């Protein structure tokens, strides 16, 4: 049996840590001698008390129980999932480094070793979650044969449609009526998320659809960026200020931490998930929302192309933009508006069970971690 040493983050809700923890739960099921090394968090202020993973108690205990390396133990395979991407010397036979290249570049993202020597080292391979992200590592100079695309997934026991009682409870907590149509977006309120485009589209749609609400769940506990900060920066256009008191009052901001179970309930309580992103390494939250049976609206041309299918929602047209070493997408505002209007007005309908089933059939953590195992040679 081979020995796999995973080196990464546990206990917090950063995306790399979340991916690592779900993968660890599945790696425990594989025929491999598994150990884990906790690497320092990128931000010294991150900690499980302030930035807890939100996983269930039993899941956290299982993850915490994974042993560390024994003295002098040799690892056949090392898998690093941390940031910056660590190229430091490794005593394992093979080293796999996980990373994402949201803007299709990796400039300044490596540490711990000489990049050109690492590119030439046939014992080193890259694992990344989408073909969009893989392009950044290929531009860096890595051999295509050593850049492996392994998707992320969802836990089908957690991310599934919720019952009417739970949905009503969640909507009551948000002071949302049964007949309101609720849009949702979750994540760090950074430039690449396209929240400015979503806010502008919402303000325009709200004028015609008085039952429309928008929920923005940020990650301010990690990054200190809140959704209302973006709203404050959007200026008055030639047509006046679209963010009237009525529009602002129809936006619900959520900044506190949620457990994974409560996040799934939040997804299940809304009517549409919206992510008009500009640059993403994978973009897990739309997949989680779709797992809960909620139709999604996402940008066409980026990382979500790897998992999008018409059964789960609609895509927003975009154009590719390149400036220096950065490449991103600019979603078309009219296409975003039209996609949302079609769903809000019922001209495009999605069955919750079918949306959920489409995701559960292809993108569970069990399946994609099995794919990871094959890449690692387990």
DSSP string, 216-245: EE--HHHH---HHHHHHH---BTTB-S--H
DSSP state for residue 177 in the 8-state scheme = -
User: What global pTM score does this model have?
Assistant: 0.95
pLDDT confidence bin for 255, thresholds 50/70/90:
confident
Return d(Cα 255, Cα 34) in angstroms, integer.
35
Give residue 227's pLDDT: 66
Within this chain, domains 3-153+364-376 and 164-360 share the same CATH topology: yes
Pick from 205, 213, 199: nearest CA to 171:
213
CB count within 10 Å of CB 199 equals 23
- CATH assignment of 3-153+364-376, given 3.30.565, 3.30.2410, 3.10.350, 3.40.50? 3.40.50
pLDDT band at 52 (very low <50, low <70, confident <90, very high): very high
pLDDT, tens digit, for every residue of 139-180? 999 999 999 999 999 999 999 999 999 999 999 999 999 999
Our measurement of the distance from residue 168's CA atom to the centroid of its chain's CA atoms, rounded to an integer in Å, reads 26
Query: Among 112, 57, 58, which Cα is nearest to 88's?
Result: 112
Domain ranges, ordered by start, for the chain:
3-153+364-376, 164-360
Cis previous bond, 84, omega within 30: yes
Alpha-carbon gap, residue 155 to 151, rounded angstroms: 13
Q: Confirm if 230 and 196 have CB atoms less than 8 A apart.
A: yes
Residue 292 has pLDDT above 50, yes or no: yes
- Is 35 or 226 the better-scoring residue by pLDDT? 35
Q: What tokens were used for 190? A: 């950074």
Residue 286 pLDDT exceeds 90: yes
Residue 229 has pLDDT above 90, yes or no: no
Q: How far apart are CA 189 and CA 229, in angstroms?
A: 9
Which residues 6+ apart lie within 8 Å of 362 measured at CB?
A: 307
**pLDDT at residue 220 in the model:** 61
What are the pLDDT digits (tens) for 188-204?
778 899 999 999 999 99
Alpha carbons 11 and 98: distance in angstroms, whole number: 18
State the residue for tokens 């959920």: 356
Give the pLDDT score at 257.
87
H-state helical runs in 210-364: 220-223, 227-233, 245-249, 260-269, 284-291, 333-344, 352-360
Mean pLDDT of the chain: 94
With cut-offs at 50, 70 and 90, classify the pLDDT of residue 80: very high
Instruction: Report the Cα 349 to chain-centroid distance in Å.
Output: 25
Length of the chain: 378
Q: Is the per-residue pLDDT at 368 higher than 50?
A: yes
Which are the contacts of 121, defined by CB distance < 8 A and separation ≥ 6? none
Q: What homologous superfamily does CATH list for 164-360?
A: Glycogen Phosphorylase B; (3.40.50.2000)
**Contacts with 154 (C-beta within 8 Å, 6 or more apart), sequence order:** 284, 287, 288, 291, 359, 360, 363, 364, 365
Q: String of b and e for 189-198 (b: at least 16 CB within 10 Å)?
A: bbebbbbbbb
Q: What is the pLDDT of residue 246?
A: 87
Q: What is the pLDDT of residue 238?
A: 45
Q: Per residue in 104-132, pLDDT tens? A: 999 999 999 899 999 999 999 999 999 99
> Helix (H, G, I), strand (E, B), or coil: what is residue 257?
coil
């Amino acid at each position: 049996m081979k020995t796999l040493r995973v080196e990464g983050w546990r206990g917090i809700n950063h995306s790399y840590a979340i991916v690592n923890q779900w993968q660890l739960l599945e790696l425990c099921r594989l025929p491999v001698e598994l150990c884990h090394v906790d690497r320092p968090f990128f931000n010294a202020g991150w900690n499980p008390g302030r930035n807890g993973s939100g996983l269930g108690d039993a899941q956290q205990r299982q993850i915490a129980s994974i042993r560390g390396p024994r003295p002098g133990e040799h690892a056949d395979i090392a898998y690093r999932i941390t940031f910056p991407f660590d190229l430091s010397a490794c005593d394992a036979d093979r080293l796999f480094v996980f990373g994402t290249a949201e803007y299709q570049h990796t400039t300044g993202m490596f540490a711990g070793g000489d990049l050109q020597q690492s590119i030439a080292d046939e014992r080193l391979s890259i694992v990344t979650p989408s073909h969009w992200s893989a392009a950044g590592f290929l531009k860096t100079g890595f051999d295509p044969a050593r850049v492996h695309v392994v998707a992320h997934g969802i836990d089908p026991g957690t991310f599934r449609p919720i019952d009417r009682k739970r949905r009503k409870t969640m909507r009551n907590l948000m002071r949302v009526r049964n007949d309101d149509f609720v849009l949702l977006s979750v994540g760090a309120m950074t430039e690449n998320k396209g929240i400015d485009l979503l806010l502008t589209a919402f303000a325009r749609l709200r004028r015609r659809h008085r039952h429309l609400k928008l929920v923005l769940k940020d990650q301010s506990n990690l990054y200190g960026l809140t959704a209302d900060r973006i709203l404050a920066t959007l200026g008055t256009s030639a047509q006046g200020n679209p963010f009237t008191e009525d529009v602002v009052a129809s936006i619900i901001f959520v900044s506190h931490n949620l457990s994974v179970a409560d996040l799934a309930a939040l997804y299940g309580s809304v009517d549409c998930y919206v992510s008009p992103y500009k640059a993403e390494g994978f973009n897990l939250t739309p997949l989680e929302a779709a797992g809960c049976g909620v139709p999604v609206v996402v940008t066409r041309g980026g990382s979500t192309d790897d998992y999008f299918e018409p059964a789960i929602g609609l895509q927003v047209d975009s154009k590719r933009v390149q400036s220096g070493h950065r490449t991103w997408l600019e979603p078309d505002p009219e296409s975003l508006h039209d996609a949302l209007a079609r769903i809000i007005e019922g001209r495009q309908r999605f069955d919750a069970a079918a949306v959920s089933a489409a995701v559960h059939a292809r993108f569970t953590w069990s399946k994609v971690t099995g794919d990871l195992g094959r890449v690692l040679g387990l």
